[in-house]
Chains A and B, each alone.
Chain A
């Protein structure tokens, strides 16, 4: 058994101990995980963004990157109370640009593509089932009208569609989580304890 496998097994058991209750072993593993991942992502940010997107273009004489670099510096303005308002400028840009980029992509992927996939000829039970499901589920998500009368009945059908979907995804995801647990147990009983060859 390697030292790496030993450390991995002990930390796995420390995290699993949370199933009993919060304890010092779990806390140690938790803080190790947070600290290591924070350090790892900092290195990724420096190597993956700061160096190739700012420093290298600057060295190549592309002075336009000074603009985003100033915005980065403005975010650091949060560190003192006096310069804090300056940090709102890059934040506003991030939120505005983020929403602007997301909206057309969402319109395309979540509305137009879905619409296109639902407009099928009503010549099979499956196509009718899909169309009824989409319409009644949309009715469920109407907020300006109470779910009463015939409208409420349509919304109830939509609720049934939703519940069937949730049941199916629950079962599917539980299966994938169990396979993750099996992988971890195989590691503990195989690589760590050597009980599985």
Chain B
């Protein structure tokens, strides 16, 4: 019997992968403790966020943020909330209104906490306006209609689309484009990336969304976790090459073991 009651055989590769991720994270945290500092390459889309907020401040117009239709258990939503913290910090510093209509009540609640905390951290707790970070509806297109209408009425100078997007991506991005706003998008929703690429000034592709938070804050723990992900990607490349070579020249099929 090769299956333990509490660990089915088909779950063992997941456990090994999970342990590899944990080991990589532990490795970077130990390096950080020894004084190693981490840095990542510049991400033009992330660097443009400050420029976009600055432009909105100069024009006296608001910044519009949306995390699309993702729920709180989506990694992209968590990454978007991390970026939101940096955006809220800067808008509070500059005294620029930030609007964030939301599709999910739990995300809206967490977002209110994030914006409130960022405003306090910036020394301007009064910059947090609960009425500007609000839940609209769970309906995808009900939310899209409201967010588009709101964009038309507010005429924001900067629109930031960070998170999980579906069919609403192009509707929102086209509306923002029509307002002449500087547009920055970041999503791991692969199908929607094409729409953001054509309608936005800057688009962070896939994993760049997760790196954006660290790039903006310079937080060593976040940057360290990005470096750990790079190590894991190197391991994946190595595994792919080994697996492909074994499949080509031997009868051993590594793919079937995963």
Q: Is the CB of B193 within 8 A of A166?
A: yes
Known A98-B73, A116-B255, A141-B207; judge A29-B13 contact (CB<8 A). Answer: no
Which of B110, B145, B237, B256 contacts A95, CB < 8 Å? B110
- The yes or no answer to A33 lying at the interface (CB within 8 A) is yes
Q: Mark A114-137, 1 if CB is under 8 A from B, else 0.
A: 011111111100010001001100
Q: Mark A153-184, 1 if CB is under 8 A from B, else 0.
A: 00000000010011101100100010000000
Q: 8 Å CB contacts to A: which residues of B224-249?
A: 226-227, 229-230, 233, 236-237, 239-241, 243-248
In the assembled complex, which residues on chain A have CB atoms less than 8 Å from the CB atom of B167?
177
- The yes or no answer to B30 lying at the interface (CB within 8 A) is no
In the assembled complex, which residues on chain B have CB atoms less than 8 Å from the CB atom of A131?
240, 244
Q: Mark B198-218, 1 if CB is under 8 A from A, else 0.
A: 100000011110010000000
In the assembled complex, which residues on chain B have CB atoms less than 8 Å from the CB atom of A117?
255
Known A29-B145, A99-B78, A144-B40; judge A119-B17 contact (CB<8 A). Answer: no
- The yes or no answer to B132 lying at the interface (CB within 8 A) is no
Known A115-B255, A143-B226; judge A120-B244 contact (CB<8 A). Answer: yes
- The yes or no answer to B9 lying at the interface (CB within 8 A) is no
Which of A31, A94, A102, A170 contacts B194, CB < 8 Å? A170
- The yes or no answer to B136 lying at the interface (CB within 8 A) is yes
- The yes or no answer to B74 lying at the interface (CB within 8 A) is yes
Q: 8 Å CB contacts to B: which residues of A58-109?
A: 75, 78, 87-88, 91, 94-95, 98-99, 101-104, 106-108
Q: 8 Å CB contacts to A: which residues of B10-33?
A: 11, 13-14, 17-18, 21
Using a CB–CB cutoff of 8 Å, the interface residues on chain A facing chain B are 15, 18, 21-22, 26-27, 29-31, 33-34, 36-38, 40-41, 75, 78, 87-88, 91, 94-95, 98-99, 101-104, 106-108, 111-113, 115-123, 127, 131, 134-135, 138-139, 141-147, 162, 165-167, 169-170, 173, 177
